[in-house]
Amino acid sequence: MMLGYRGMGLSMGSMIVGWDNKGPGLYYVDDKATRLSGRMFSTGCGSSYAYGVIDSGYREDMTEEEAYELGRRGITHTTHRDAYSGGVVNLYHMQEDGWIKVCKEDVSELIHRYRKGMF
């Protein structure tokens, strides 16, 4: 679908997640038809902020709750630093039988929680 818009000035990066007979899958697809499979991606104009948070806190042995908290923190800091990233953390978890919504939280409230220990 995106290949048809190649060269038209569209700038887009998308994460696609799902589950098949091989297990969970996470993919990055962009407007140049780049398709990557991986364990972790961040997309959008604020993605470098998210990678900074995620890279500093990611561990292979994280619990689901720890992973949720890391994702929430990464999105919060990204949204706070990048004017075009919105103001709400919508966090979902893809499971074998479908997805669950983990949270919908206001960044203006979360940023104060995360910044308390920083100064």
Domain of 55? 47-119
CA-wise closest residue to 74 among 94, 49, 39, 91: 49
Lowest mean pLDDT among 2-6, 45-49, 111-115: 2-6
If asked whether residues 19 and 72 sit together in one domain, one would say no
If asked whether residues 92 and 53 sit together in one domain, one would say yes
If asked whether residues 31 and 54 sit together in one domain, one would say no
**Rounded distance between C-alpha atoms, residue 47 and residue 30, angstroms:** 14
- Binned at pLDDT 50, 70 and 90, residue 118 comes out as low
Tell me, what's the pLDDT at 73?
Answer: 94
Q: Which tops the pLDDT comparison, 81 or 68?
A: 68
Burial of 70 (0-12, 13-18, 19+ CB in 10 A): middle
| 8 Å CB contact between 89 and 72 | yes
If asked whether residues 112 and 64 sit together in one domain, one would say yes
If asked whether residues 85 and 119 sit together in one domain, one would say yes
Interval 7-65: pLDDT, tens? 788 788 889 999 999 999 999 988 877 899 999 998 888 888 899 999 999 999 999 99
| 8 Å CB contact between 29 and 105 | no
Tell me, what's the pLDDT at 119?
Answer: 46
If asked whether residues 37 and 82 sit together in one domain, one would say no
As for how many domains the chain has, the answer is: 2
